[in-house]
Amino acid sequence: MTRLSGLKALLPRSLRMLAIAGLAGAAVSTAAMAEDTIRVELDYARVIKLDRPVSRVIIGNSDIADAAVSDAQTIILTGKKFGTTNLVILDTDGSAIVDERILVSLENKNTLQIYRQADRQIMSCTPNCEDFELPE
């Protein structure tokens, strides 16, 4: 008996189909979440251009990200600490222009992460690798 036929014998067809559907749904929800997320790297700024003038900018957790109004239609978003928060930008009528999730993470292309059991060491490699101190 092969492993596949053994699995088929243990799980009814309906349960196998439900498991496959669940995995497909998880992939779709992860992709949908990524589309609604503004990604900012730690200690980097990102420019957000808007089609209408801004009246108010709200950051859910200002320890994670900061937003500064550059002009009436330009916001500068800066990643301050690892994590997820949200950004709400209102126009002069009080309507939401932007209501998005913000994810602050490390720059992947110049970062090396070394795992030793439960310990993690992060190194910034630009161009030589040096220890990277995480903000508190």
Mean pLDDT of 108-130: 79
Q: Same structural domain for residues 127 and 91? A: no
pLDDT of 22-52, one tens digit each?
Answer: 544 444 444 444 467 899 988 889 999 999 9
Q: Same structural domain for residues 124 and 75? A: no
Range of the domain at 97: 37-105
Q: Give the Cα separation of 95 and 88 in Å (integer).
A: 10
Q: Same structural domain for residues 46 and 77? A: yes
Q: Same structural domain for residues 41 and 59? A: yes
Q: Is the pLDDT of residue 99 over 90?
A: yes
Q: Hey, CA dihedral for 45, 51, 55, 59, is it positive or negative?
A: negative
Q: Same structural domain for residues 95 and 43? A: yes
Quickly state the pLDDT bin for 18 (edges 50, 70, 90).
very low
Q: Same structural domain for residues 46 and 29? A: no
Q: Same structural domain for residues 45 and 98? A: yes
Q: Give the Cα separation of 77 and 101 in Å (integer).
A: 12
Quickly state the pLDDT bin for 20 (edges 50, 70, 90).
low
Note whether 25 and 31 are within 8 A (CB).
no
More confident residue, 130 or 92: 92
CATH number at residue 84: 2.60.40.1080
Residues in a beta bridge with 3:
none
Q: Same structural domain for residues 70 and 115? A: no
Number of folded domains in the chain? 3
Mean pLDDT of 79-101: 92
